[in-house]
Amino acid sequence: MEPFELIDLDTTIGSLPRRKSPGHDCILNEHVIHGGESAKHMLLMLFNTVLQRTRVSDDWQMSIIIEFPVYQGKGKDKSDPSSYRTISLIPVISTLFKKLYSVDYPYPQQQGFQPNLSCLTTAFALQETVLYHIERHSDVYVARLDQKTAFDTVRFRARFVG
């Protein structure tokens, strides 16, 4: 992958939301937003070094998990446990790097949450791939990920007093 450029970093910093809680490093988005040109150049050097060495700091992978369930709102049923979520606070530097790194995202194979694409197009692509290999008498291995179990869930006990 090509090194990051200052213009990309500026754009990514500009997309950071304000008034959000910091991660374990206590750095706020506002620190990065208002850090000035020197801070941007230092971040750019850091991110390009990480990209070159293909290793991120262990600190970037740590988060603070707020166990208190937060209601997602938007008309969801308050008695349904899936209407609640935990909050994970990750360092802003990690967030910034991930946003920069995923400039080319979504990948061409990514079909979820894309205009005019759906699970139907994913199923079709999988079917065609399997058929292609079967016709050539090749082994076919398919792995499935249940996303609902891949993400944090909230243990919730409802107690209704009526």
| Maximum CA extent, the chain | 64
d(CA 145, CA 134): 22
How far is it, in rounded angstroms, from Cα 122 to Cα 111?
Answer: 6
Interaxial angle between packed helices 92-101 and 36-53, expressed in degrees from 0 to 180 and rounded to the nearest 10: 60
Distances (CA, A) of 1 to 66, 69, 103, 110, 145: 35, 39, 11, 19, 27
User: How far apart are the C-alpha atoms of 26 and 70, rounded to whole Å?
Assistant: 22
Does the model's pTM come out above 0.85?
Answer: no
Place of tokens 């994913």: 122
Residue 96 burial (CB count, 10 A): 22
- Full pLDDT tens readout for the chain, 162 residues: 789 999 999 999 999 999 999 999 999 999 999 999 999 999 999 999 998 988 888 888 888 888 778 888 888 888 888 888 888 899 999 999 988 887 555 556 666 666 777 777 778 888 898 899 999 999 888 877 666 655 555 444 444 454
